[in-house]
Amino acid sequence: MEDAVIRVLLVEDNPGDARLIREMLRDSGPRKSTMDLSFADRLSGGLERLRSEKFDLVLLDLTLPDSSGLETFESVHSAAPSVPIVVLSGLDDEAVAVRAVQFGAQDYLVKGQVDGGAILRSMRYAIERQRLEDARADLEHQRDEFFSSVSHDLRTPVAAIKAAIGVVLANEPQNMPASLHRLLGNIDLAADELTKLIENLLEMARLQAGRVELWRSPVDLREVVARAVRNIEPLAAERNQTLVVQVPDQPVVAEVDGERLGRVLRNLLANAQKYGREGGRIWLALEDRTDEVCISVTDDGPGIAAEDQQRIFERFYRVSGSTTTGTGLGLAIARALVELHGGRLSVESAAGAGSTFFITLAKKRSDS
């Protein structure tokens, strides 16, 4: 950051500490760079300056006359989420330091244990990390916009292909060669797969942009389960897999978006059918608890390694060595939709022992 003016806001209520920090930074900084250090002695004053001025970094004391502890950090971070914050506190508490970093602080320094050079290095590293994070976020946004745009553009030609193949198949002559019939059928299936891919890309783009709205209503989850099972039955039959479904005899009602929850279940069942053993079993269970419901989907496949069990919910992540095809979007969409309901999607698995995915949902929405 040569020849650049670094604008820093120091939020510190002790005038002696503020003067000492200013002198330490002045004496440690290289002559070819300039630091513009502004000062606020209260949280309220710091927040006001963050709202009206642009800063490259905040040096923050957690103990102020009008705020103390991690609440001080949370207030500043909420007011300026894109400005890196280095905590410079007199409190030498490792637990508080770890929590501050977990909440988004770039560093936690203890007064009296660091010199001006260490503070300056921490500030520069914090600014650079924030710059890289902003660049990464911008690239992700561009990628999401690209996928959304391409998906929209592909919808029309794919729909035209699907319609044209449908007309041909519906009017094929009786003497059509079997090889040509199979070719048309393959084109029809490929169009279906491409349609699913486009819908996944669009749904992921909507979720990332926060444009997915749930249409909740009281739904008997047994019906959602039954529809999802009917959808997967033909595929399971092709591999001689047995579906074992366990649901209560009485209605299990929850306030959910039935269509989107059904999409989650169809994805989990499709994965169980894909990764499960040929001739094996797929279990689906619906459990009615006091204030919540739990839906589990279990397969008898190879299982998921411990190091992959959280990463499988990331966008585009594919388990190394997997022989099955896929986009790596299904589980990311499934978890996002469950969390949009205020629920949890988790997995339990062991190598060679299959996998179980759990959907846990409250029966009533928390804001009702």
What CATH number is attached to the domain comprising 150? Answer: 1.10.287
Q: What is the pLDDT of residue 11?
A: 93
85-89, strands of its sheet edge to edge: 34-40, 5-11, 57-60, 85-89, 107-110
Q: Please give the C-alpha separations between residue 91 and each of 8, 40, 68, 343, 367, in angstroms, as whole numbers.
A: 22, 19, 11, 37, 38
Is residue 172 in a domain? yes
Q: What is the pLDDT of residue 233?
A: 93
In this structure, how many other beta carbons lie within 10 angstroms of the beta carbon of residue 4? 12
Is residue 12 in a domain? yes
Domain identity same for 228 and 130: no
Q: What is the pLDDT of residue 32?
A: 46
Domain identity same for 52 and 99: yes
Domain identity same for 110 and 151: no
Domain ranges, residue 27:
5-135
Is residue 338 in a domain? yes
Domain identity same for 12 and 129: yes
Domain identity same for 201 and 225: no
Q: What is the pLDDT of residue 25?
A: 80
Q: What is the pLDDT of residue 33?
A: 54
Domain identity same for 175 and 110: no
Paired tokens of 169: 């198949």
| CATH number of the domain that residue 272 is part of | 3.30.565.10
Q: What is the pLDDT of residue 1?
A: 44
Q: What is the pLDDT of residue 12?
A: 92
Is residue 40 in a domain? yes
Residue 216 CA to residue 341 CA, distance in Å, equals 9
Domain identity same for 12 and 125: yes
In this structure, how many other beta carbons lie within 10 angstroms of the beta carbon of residue 350? 12
Domain identity same for 39 and 131: yes
* H-helix segments, 300-345: 330-340
**Of the residues 155, 189, 208, which one is the last residue of a structural domain?**
208
Whether this model's pTM surpasses 0.85: no
Domain identity same for 29 and 158: no
Q: What is the pLDDT of residue 367?
A: 60
Is residue 368 in a domain? no
Q: What is the pLDDT of residue 363?
A: 87
Is residue 116 in a domain? yes
Q: What is the pLDDT of residue 212?
A: 81
Domain identity same for 144 and 12: no
CA-nearest of 18, 5, 16 to 45 is 18
Is residue 87 in a domain? yes
Q: What is the pLDDT of residue 195?
A: 81
**Of the residues 135, 162, 181, which one is the last residue of a structural domain?**
135
**Of the residues 106, 135, 164, which one is the last residue of a structural domain?**
135
| CATH number of the domain that residue 13 is part of | 3.40.50.2300
Domain identity same for 17 and 77: yes
Number of structural domains in the chain? 3
Domain identity same for 130 and 46: yes
Is residue 367 in a domain? no
Q: What is the pLDDT of residue 322?
A: 60
Q: What is the pLDDT of residue 207?
A: 81
Q: What is the pLDDT of residue 121?
A: 87
Q: Do the beta carbons of residue 300 and residue 280 sit within 8 Å?
A: yes
Residue by residue, pLDDT tens for the chain (368 residues) are: 445 688 999 999 988 888 888 888 877 765 445 788 899 999 999 999 999 999 999 999 999 999 988 999 999 999 999 999 999 988 888 899 999 999 999 999 998 898 888 888 899 899 999 888 888 888 877 777 777 677 677 778 888 888 888 888 888 888 888 888 888 888 888 888 788 778 877 787 778 777 788 899 999 999 999 999 998 999 899 999 999 999 999 999 999 999 999 999 999 999 999 999 999 999 999 999 888 999 999 999 998 888 888 888 887 777 765 655 666 788 989 999 999 999 999 999 988 889 999 999 998 876 65
Q: What is the pLDDT of residue 245?
A: 95
